[in-house]
Structure 1
Amino acid sequence: MARNKFDIDEDLESPFDIKHFRRAYVYIKQHKKPMIISLVLSALSAAIALTAPLIMQHVVDVTIPAKDASALVGWSALMLVTIIVSVYLATIRSRIMTRVGQDVIFEIRTDLFKHLQQLPFKYYDDRPQGKILIRVVNYVNSVSDVLSNGIINFILEIINLIFIAAFMFAVNVQLSLIILAGLPVFLAIMLLIKTRQRRAWQSVSNKSSNLNAYLQESISGIRVTQIFSREQHNAGTFSRLSGNYRQVWMRAMIFNNLVPFSVDNLATMVTMLIYLVGLLALDPVNVTFGVILAMSSYAARFWQPILNLSNLYNNFINAVAYLERIFETLDEPVTVSDVPDARELPSVKGNVTFDNVTFAYDPGINILENLMFDIKAGQSIALVGPTGAGKTTVVNLISRFYNLTDGKILIDGHDISQVTLRSLRSQMGIMLQDSFIFSGTIMDNIRYGKLDATEEEIIAAAKTVCADEFIREFEHGYLTEVNERGSKLSQGQRQLISFARTLLADPRILILDEATSSIDAKTERLLQQGLNELLKGRTSFIIAHRLSTIKNCDRIMYVNNKGIAESGSHDELIARRGLYYRLYTAQRMEA
């Protein structure tokens, strides 16, 4: 399925089953002690509150007829104490569970983030960023209360029902049976709507994800939107997605509201039956007005836990849709990872060998087939060719951002699939075409790849790539704060800072993917002087569309038709008058 679109619903990879809640228990069991304390406090609060109807019955049947004012004051004071104690215990319990809920949010979100950090490029190629973000933020928030307060409240409401039933039957058995008569009707309603309710909230999850994905995409591309005056069209798309969300939300709320609506009406009918049967059908000697008043109070109290349980059920159904998405993300396989017996890659010289390498992003559609070449340490290699031929794929495979379909890649004779990713990538300097700048200072951005770098090393790296001059022109120099993606910097400045970041890591293998595409010709000439010194003794792979920048490379490889169509030095390829010659000649004519 083409999932990398904001307007396509994401079908679940696997249906929900009880194992999800068994997995969720891992987060809950770490907080068993405060949850047990909360449960005890809640039970005590509920039990104390249930004495109020008995006090009320005694006052109506005994104290008031006896006109005992002092006893009335005493009983009133006792009822006030029960209310205060009950509220106090409930407040303590609420504070404890608020802390537990936030701890659960922290732990789930941390696990999600750590897993996302390990997932391969392929995962991010297939999904809009907004659909990933909503799982880490919104969905975790939605399930945390169910995993903490929800469990406590569920147990508590069951205990409440048992206590209330015991008090009811102690007062009057016949009227208690009338109260229980509404339960079969309620259970029938719940069975009828539960499947459709879950599907409705899955739809809400989908439409919310779509809306979030489009919003994130629109914010990231706001400059392009305004350049092409797409504001009105984009507003229409957002309105359509928002309307879809509103539609499915309203449908889900119909099912949600049906439950409390049913409970309220059943409770009202049961209360009416208590008064009707109590006053007209039962023995007035045994069923006093105080008894009827107490039973009507217990009826309201009995159906309140039922209503609370139904609300918990609603929350459970909602959380199921979100919990499925969370665990689906956690279950995404980390396909590019260390093998069980992976070893550390020792310090390398930089010999690189492609041994019969075949690679496909999607099964059956090969980008590279049976690719073979051997690069000696210290050589500079240029990769040229038409767009989409696989140049960036080649350098991504050297860094093992993707797993090979077939064959192997060796560095100094070591199969890179058998060494740890950290030891492999720590010896590589990679500058991608998209120069990403993080929020923070310029110095922090340059230091990103080498956290222990000194200020002198950072400045030296910046000078090598000709970034020092423009950095010092800022009021705060290297301590200048930049926004995410470096919105305050020009594209060329962002690339130079990224270049300094890459060079500071002192890599043995250097990969430059269109690294100078946004630098003016004058700056590029200055930069080339520094690079000539830097590239000495390092193996380098350079992808550049401006062929004038790679004329001095030791070898130029023309990538086409799933392999290397031509390979040689600039002079050799020009003399051959093949694909590279035609490409170079065409560029000179355009210039």
Structure 2
Amino acid sequence: MPKFDKTAPRPQMSKDTFKVLGRVIKFMFRDYKIHFFIVVVCIIVQAIATLVGMTYMKTLIDDYISPMLKAKTAAEEAGKAYIADYSGLAASLGKLAALYVVGLICSYAYNRIMVNVGQGTLRNFRNELFDNMESLPIKYFDTHAHGDIMSVYTNDVDTLRQFIGQSIPQLINSTVSFVSTLTAMIVLNIPLTLLSIFMAFVMMITTKNISMKSGKYFGAQQKDLGEVNGFIEEMLDGQKVVKVFCHEEKAKEDFGKLNDRLRDSAFNANKFANILMPINANIGNLSYVLSALVGAFMLIKGWGGVELGTIATFLSLNKSFTMPITQISQQMTFVIMASAGAGRVMDLLDQTPEKDEGYVEFVNAKFDSNGDLKECAERTGTWAWKHPHKEDGTVTYTQMKGEIVFDGVDFGYNDDKIVLHDVKLFAKPGQKIAFVGSTGAGKTTITNLINRFYDIQDGKIRYDGINISKIKKPALRKTLGIVLQDTHLFTGTVMDNIRYGNLDATDEECIAAARLANASGFIEKLEHGYDTVLKGDGGNLSQGQRQLLAIARAAVGDPPVLILDEATSSIDTRTEKLVQTGMDALMHGRTTFVIAHRLSTVKNSDCIMVLEQGRIIERGTHDELLEKKGKYFQLYTGSFAEN
């Protein structure tokens, strides 16, 4: 089976930043169009309120303060008392205050809405990621580090939080402010506006150049972060092996290399990103100083009818004009990080789901008074294949018996490397078929083909005479009970873990399955019995107890076909007898495929298949194969010699 290669070249970001982020925005719009429209309206109102407040300085100076000063001076020169009238100013300030209040409300509203939009969009992303992940073929998980996939859910999705919640509204706000401020500046004074535009152009060129340098490193940073997480998860899962083989120093050395690479990529990414805002801020300050000098010169010379209020207002607008560019440059760091994270999120979302072109279904059935097989809703212990025929629209039912046939099957995990060659086998209903052979001979691969975890390159696999490619994969897998060497238990009660084999099973059916599997004895001795909560993959249970739960989980589904993949290879002899008794009860009346290294567990098989390098080289019963004195004889006698 192919494995994840840590030495493979790391892929670089190949998708266009705007294209990737455009998909994120489109995804957000899908559920939050109205919310986003309200946000844009609030931003525009808030920007207008801010602009009016800045331009009010000209009104205050030119329409109120200057006239009052002139009137006071004239009164004093005439020897008259001057009584100022502040009613107009008070009314004007009242209107300005009301406008500021509206702007404040709009600012609070759009920030509050974007929190909801941001968190809701992240939730939807995680849901879509998980839904798509559940539809992916087993091959994807065999060839990708699980920690790297986890990093997509955590680190990469989190990069979108800042982008959606802050960067998007900030970019819209900055754009609206930039356009409205530019318009006001043009109205006030064109020469000063041209000077400000030139300095803004310098800022944009600077932002572009620095962002391009940091952008390529943010993609590497997210990739390196995924690899670090993958390595940590691998070490956690294999910590016992690390301790047993005294591999601590080597593990620390390997982690140090990955961590250093992450440090380097993160340093390079943030090195450029962190200098962007200070540079732009200083360019903005330079623009402010130049505008003040040029404006003062024009005022002194009397050019262009420039007044003091105009200069004061323009300088305020100049700050607001360069500020959006500074704010945009500040957000560029988060935009680039979001682009890198979004690229990895979209890569996972774009993975091709497992193909299923089957149309034959698995249903409960019963025989009517005429002896014909009919579909029914209740569980009767009789199953049928529901086979619709497109040609005439009819539906036929074939009783499920558990007959499996391999006819000249060739298979390879890659098309250029075939690992199974011309496999032919026949399993009659209720038979026990065993696969033996050296490691890598292809035993587990055959069972993976029965499940259609992988599709074959050539030949046919038939289930009750039906090509399994015509059977819907969920229907096919419902008929198969699997007990693996490595048992995985989920966080939850013992009852929940047994019911995993059939979510519709009642408590009584789960208890009956546990008794059939010989698991009820130890379960009832647990502190809370079937309600005992298991955590950490059942770490508080022995390997044998975990295997008994796995057998009970397979039993509660009452499957017609069983696959036992070295289910007793990692437990002691005493526990093996208990587990074997449970498996014998489970196998009764079912077609069973058994993979075992301990050949003593397959002696009673109806047929034993000996595999070598992907080929069946011997087949027969235990006694027949011993008489041949071939490969099986060597394996069997050798196993006893070792014991």
Q: Could you say which TM-score interval applies, normalised by the shorter chain? A: over 0.9
Equivalent position of 1:515 in the other structure: 567
Residue ranges of structure 2 left out of the alignment (5+ in a row): 70-83, 363-384, 386-398
Which secondary structure does the structure 2 equivalent of 1:361 belong to? Answer: coil
Contact 1:351 1:411 in 2 (8 A): yes
1:348-427 map, 5 Å: 348-427=400-479
Give the structure 2 partner of residue 305 of structure 1.
324
Counterpart residue identity of residue 541, structure 1: F
Task: Report the alpha carbon displacement of residue 229 of structure 1 after superposing the two structures with TM.
Answer: 4.3
Determine the C-alpha separation between the residues in 1 that align with 2:437 and 2:243.
Answer: 33
Give a deviation string over 1:284-306, Cα, whole Å, max 9, x none. Answer: 65333332221111011111111
- Say if 1:510 and 1:539, in contact at 8 Å, map to a contact too: yes
Q: d(CA) in 1 for partners of 2:85 and 2:441?
A: 97
Distance 1:424 1:355 in 2: 18
Q: Partner residue of 1:242?
A: 259
Q: Secondary structure at the match of 2:537?
A: helix
Question: What is the alpha-carbon distance in structure 2 between the residues aligned to residue 354 and residue 16 of structure 1?
Answer: 47
Match of 2:598 among 539, 542, 546: 546
Matching of residue 338 in structure 1 with residue 390 in structure 2: no
Return the offset for 1:325: 1.2
The Cα shift of 1:326 comes to 1.5
TM-score by length of 2: 0.86
Alpha-carbon distance in structure 2 between the residues aligned to 1:404 and 1:201: 41
* Cα deviation, residue 575, structure 1: 0.7
Name the amino acid aligned to 2:42.
L
- The residue number in structure 1 matching 2:102 is 85
Corresponding residue for 1:322? 341
Across the aligned residues of Structure 1 and Structure 2, the Cα RMSD in angstroms comes to 2.3
Aligned positions of 1:132-171 closer than 5 A:
132-147=149-164, 150-171=167-188
What is the match of residue 134 of structure 2? 117
Aligned AA (1:325): R
Matched, 1:468 2:520: yes
| Larger gyration radius, structure 1 or structure 2 | 2
Q: Is the 8 A contact 2:490 2:538 kept in 1?
A: yes
Alignment deviations for residues 445-493 of structure 1 (CA, whole Å, 9 cap, x no partner): 0100111212222112112222111111111011111113111111111
1:187-227 deviation per Cα after TM superposition (whole angstroms, max 9, x unaligned): 33244344433211111112111111112222222333344
Residue 79 of structure 2 aligns with which residue?
Answer: none
Partner of 1:274: 291
Give the secondary structure class of the aligned counterpart of 1:50.
Answer: helix
Deviations 1:275-330 (A, max 9, x none): 11111244565333332221111011111111222234333322222222112112
1:446 aligns with 2:498: yes
CA distance in 1, matches of 2:502, 2:488: 16
Q: What pairs with 1:467-506 in structure 2 (closer than 5 Å)?
A: 467-506=519-558
How far 1:574 sits from its partner (Å)?
Answer: 0.6
Q: Which moved more, 1:408-417 or 1:303-312?
A: 303-312
1:9-24 superposed matches below 5 A: 10-12=10-12, 15-16=15-16, 19-21=19-21, 23-24=23-24
Tell me the TM-score normalised to structure 1 length: 0.94
For residue 418 of structure 2, give the secondary structure of its aligned residue in structure 1: strand
Corresponding residue for 2:382?
none
Where 1:239 maps in the other structure, the secondary structure is helix
Cα deviation for residue 21 of structure 1 reads 4.5
CA distance in 2, matches of 1:56, 1:140: 45
Post-superposition Cα deviations, 1:341-385, rounded to whole Å, max 9, x if no partner, equal 632241521111111111111232211011111111111011100
Give the CA deviation at 1:540: 0.1
- The code of the aligned residue for 1:57 comes to K
Corresponding residue SS for 1:507: coil
The SS at the match of 1:355 is strand
Q: Say yes or no: does 1:580 pair with 2:599.
A: no
Counterpart-to-counterpart distance in 1, 2:637 and 2:352: 47
Map of 2:61 onto structure 1: 60
Q: Distance in 2 between matches of 1:211 and 1:533?
A: 46
Kept in 1, the 8 Å contact 2:299–2:308? The answer is no
* Distance in structure 2 (CA, Å) of the matches to 1:394 and 1:459: 32
SS in 1 for 2:413: strand
Q: Which moved more, 1:281-290 or 1:554-563?
A: 281-290
Q: 1:54 and 1:16 mapped to 2: Cα distance? A: 40
Separation of aligned partners in 2, 1:84 and 1:332: 49
SS in 1 for 2:268: helix
> What code does the residue aligned with 1:429 have?
G
Query: Identity over the aligned pairs, expressed in percent?
Result: 35
What residue in structure 1 maps to residue 119 of structure 2? 102
Q: What code does the residue aligned with 2:540 have?
A: K
The corresponding residue for 2:50 is: 49
Q: Is the 8 A contact 1:389 1:559 kept in 2?
A: yes
Matched residues, number: 588
Q: What is the CA-CA distance between 1:524 and the residue it aligns to?
A: 2.8
Give the stretch that moved more between structures: 82-91 or 321-330.
82-91
| 2:485 matches 1:433 | yes
Instruction: State the alpha-carbon separation in 2 of the partners of residues 492 and 399 from structure 1.
Output: 25
Q: Which ranges of structure 1 fall in alignment gaps of 5 or more residues? A: none
The residue number in structure 2 matching 1:31 is 32
Partner of 1:198: 215
Find the aligned partners of 2:586 and 2:209 in 1 and give their Cα distance: 72
Change (3 A) 1:297 1:101: same
* Deviation, structure 1 residue 233: 4.0
Amino acid at match of 2:239: I
Q: Contact 2:21–2:339 (CA<8 Å) still a contact in 1?
A: no
Structure 1 residues 3, 61: closer, same or farther in 2, change over 3 A?
A: farther
Asked if structure 2 preserves the Cα contact closer than 8 Å seen for 1:101 and 1:148, the reply is: yes
Superposition map of 1:171-182 within 5 A = 171-182=188-199
| Distance of 1:37 and 1:317 partners within structure 2 | 26
Contact 2:492–2:533 (CA<8 Å) still a contact in 1? yes
Q: Does the CA-based 8 Å contact 1:104-1:148 persist in structure 2? A: no
Q: Is the 8 A contact 1:267 1:300 kept in 2?
A: yes
Residues 35-70 of structure 1, C-alpha deviations (whole Å, 9 max, x = no match): 001100111011011112222233334534426584
CA distance in 2 between counterparts of 1:179 and 1:193 reads 21
Q: Deviations over 1:9-36 (max 9, x none)?
A: 6315954375545543144233111100
The amino acid of 2:411's aligned partner reads F
1: distance between equivalents of 2:136 and 2:458?
Answer: 21
Measured in 1, the distance between the counterparts of 2:347 and 2:641 equals: 54
Q: Secondary structure at the match of 1:503?
A: helix
Moved more, 530-539 or 27-36: 530-539
Shift of 1:558: 0.5
Q: What is the CA deviation profile of residues 47-95 of structure 1, one whole-angstrom value per residue up to 9, with x for unaligned ones?
A: 0111122222333345344265846666555554443332221011111
Contact 2:544 2:575 in 1 (8 A): no
Q: Are 1:464 and 1:527, in contact at CA under 8 Å, matched by a contact in 2?
A: no
Distance, in Å, in 2 between the alignment partners of 1:166 and 1:351 is 80
**Paired residue for 1:557?**
609
CA distance in 2, matches of 1:487, 1:120: 28
1:289 aligns with 2:341: no
